Amino acid sequence: MRDKGLFWTGIALVLIGLVGGLLSGPTWFDGAWPMGPGMHGWWAGSPGDAASGTPLPDATTLEVRATEFGFAPAELTARVGEPVNIELRNEGNLLHDLTIDEFGFRVVAGPGETRTAGFVPDRAGTFTFYCSVPGHAQAGMVGTLRVEP
């Protein structure tokens, strides 16, 4: 009988700790996203984080929709030396981003958000863009950016 009491006391303490941890820090309910190093290793993005900065004036805007787990359209075209803004509209229920490693570009949007950031492609070629949230690219969140001369 005593062992059952210790078992249930342990379960209660674990649950209290979990609930207390959720209530004591920022959560997705108040606009913060639990995607820092403590929960997803290296990924440290947050809604509104745009590694490439703000939208560029007089740039071509490429609109991309993100859902679980894909981009539409999955193929984009740009020209070398011409400023490009990527407007990421997150229609999913999870945090998503659009990352292009070769241009040091990333724009992040929370569920229901639209975020825009810009860059200037400095070379021609075909480049992969993807969602860098762990597991999302592997689930199909990848696309192609073709940069023409």
Question: Are 118 and 106 within 8 A, CB to CB?
Answer: no
Q: Is 86 left (phi over 0), alpha (psi -120 to 50) or beta?
A: beta
Confidence of residue 40 (pLDDT cuts 50, 70, 90): very low
Average pLDDT of the residues in 94-112: 97
Per-residue model confidence (pLDDT) at position 101? 97
What is the model's pLDDT at position 27? 38
